[in-house]
Amino acid sequence: MTAFVRNQWYVAAYGREIGRELFARTILGESLVFYRTTSGRVVALADRCVHRRYPLSESRLEGDTIVCGYHGFTYDQGGTCVFVPGQARIPRTARVASYPVVEQDSFVWVWIGDHDRADPSSIPRAPWLDDPAYTSVSGMEPLAARYQLLVDNLMDLSHETYLHGGYIGTPEVANTPITTEVDEDRGIVYVSRHMADAECPLFYAESTGIEGRITRWQDIEYHPPCLYLLHSRIAPVGVLPNADGSDPDGFHVEIVYAITPETENSTHDFWAVARDFALGDQEVSDFLAENNRTVVMQDVVALNLLEKVIATEPEGYQELSINIDTGGLAARRILTRMAEAGAAPARPSEAVPS
């Protein structure tokens, strides 16, 4: 199994999830506590008091510091202890790890690996999620399965026909061949499936108002490990973009997933759907949010089952791959390469009682 890719940015939360309450979330096996300072900046610290391991997320904020709920050790936003009870001298090792954080495109991104390598300009973008030209719905579902299973799932959309029939799946998805391209230098996998004349699933019929058959394009862009984009274009059959690239008669939906490992066998499955039509229409938003969540939960149920199967299978079991798996296999190859390249980075300095 591919190890965690530590030296990369991961989505830890939506910006809206983090405020002046302490917020706990485990990322890549590390328990973190998040909060917003009085000036609005998001802070991420190790969620374990250096004294007797009490979770800082179960403690309280005092201004921009956390006061441990057990004996009162107090930490500033850099994780340095600024107060211990009963003595004036604060031990030099009294600090918890802090983690680089960037807020962008409605997400809070965190860097778990070697801090020297945390370059905010390398965070992949999902600009639609806070662009006023789009209306978005989003959520996060906990997945009791390893993140690699979600990558496989998203890279091969032929499963829509079977697992999501009646929602987003129609026969044409599984029947239309894909094209796969890999940008080896940038480590991005592209998978496209263009359906010229397809049944319109309820998801798009209801939201766009198109009646009859559609031209349906699915263009996947996976930025391993965390960000997956599905550029979805829907139009009445035969309606194509103009030669200059403008596309006034097409409907565009940007489907964004952030795939963040929680532990080796569980994943935070962030999903968002941004559209460039029916802007601000609450009924359409409610419909898309409910339908997309249903679809995500169909995947969650299936992937949770797969995780259980993997846990009980004999060593050395071999899968069988076919054409539809080309994108997923390319993704696995890049993830393996990234994990090897970032092997055994230094952990953030952290004093742990022995």
Q: Can you give the binding site for Fe ion, defined by CB under 5 A?
A: 299
Q: Is 68 in the site for ligand FES (CB under 6 A)?
A: yes
Binds 70: which of ligand FES, Fe ion, none (CB < 5-8 Å by kind) = ligand FES
Binds 68: which of ligand FES, Fe ion, none (CB < 5-8 Å by kind) = ligand FES
Closest to ligand FES by CB, 62 or 183: 62
> How many whole angstroms separate alpha carbon 29 and alpha carbon 263?
5
Q: How far is the CB of 48 from ligand FES (least distance, A)?
A: 9
Residues linked to residue 123 through DSSP beta bridges, in sequence order: none
> How many whole angstroms separate alpha carbon 169 and alpha carbon 173?
7
Q: How far is the CB of 84 from ligand FES (least distance, A)?
A: 8
Binds 277: which of ligand FES, Fe ion, none (CB < 5-8 Å by kind) = none
Binds 73: which of Fe ion, ligand FES, none (CB < 5-8 Å by kind) = ligand FES
Q: Which two tokens stand for residue 148?
A: 């690699």
Chain positions 333 to 352 lying near ligand FES, rule: CB under 6 A, are: none
Which residue of 37, 58, 70, 139 would you call a contact of ligand FES, by CB under 6 A?
Answer: 70
Read off the amino acid at residue 329.
L
Read off the amino acid at residue 144.
A
Return the closest-CA partner of residue 160 out of 296, 7, 266, 331.
296
> How many whole angstroms separate alpha carbon 344 and alpha carbon 284?
47
Q: How many CB atoms lie within 10 A of CB 96?
A: 25
> How many whole angstroms separate alpha carbon 28 and alpha carbon 32?
10
Which residue of 23, 34, 35, 73 would you call a contact of ligand FES, by CB under 6 A?
Answer: 73
**Binding-residue pattern over the window 48 to 67 for ligand FES, x denoting contact by CB under 6 A:** -x-xx-x-------------
Q: For residues 262 and 147, is the Cβ–Cβ distance under 8 A?
A: no
The residue count for binding ligand FES (CB under 6 A) is 9
Q: For residues 65 and 77, is the Cβ–Cβ distance under 8 A?
A: yes
Q: For residues 51 and 66, is the Cβ–Cβ distance under 8 A?
A: no
- DSSP-assigned letters across all residues of 20-36: SS-EEEEETTEEEEEEE
Q: How far is the CB of 108 from ligand FES (least distance, A)?
A: 25
Region of 59 (left: φ > 0; alpha: ψ -120 to 50; beta: rest) is: beta
Q: How many CB atoms lie within 10 A of CB 240?
A: 13
Q: How far is the CB of 56 from ligand FES (least distance, A)?
A: 8
Chain positions 122 to 151 lying near ligand FES, rule: CB under 6 A, are: none
What SS3 class is residue 138? strand
- DSSP-assigned letters across all residues of 262-321: EETTEEEEEEEEEESSSTT-HHHHHHHHHHHHHHHHHHHHHHHHHHHHHHHSPTT-----
Q: How far is the CB of 21 from Fe ion (least distance, A)?
A: 32
Closest to Fe ion by CB, 52 or 162: 162
Binds 49: which of Fe ion, ligand FES, none (CB < 5-8 Å by kind) = ligand FES
Which residue of 15, 55, 72, 139 would you call a contact of ligand FES, by CB under 6 A?
Answer: 72
Binds 299: which of Fe ion, ligand FES, none (CB < 5-8 Å by kind) = Fe ion
Q: Which stretch binds ligand FES (CB under 6 A): 17-25, 44-52, 229-237, 311-319?
A: 44-52
> How many whole angstroms separate alpha carbon 154 and alpha carbon 183?
18
Closest to ligand FES by CB, 41 or 53: 53
User: Footprint of ligand FES on this chain (CB under 6 A)?
Assistant: 49, 51-52, 54, 68, 70-73
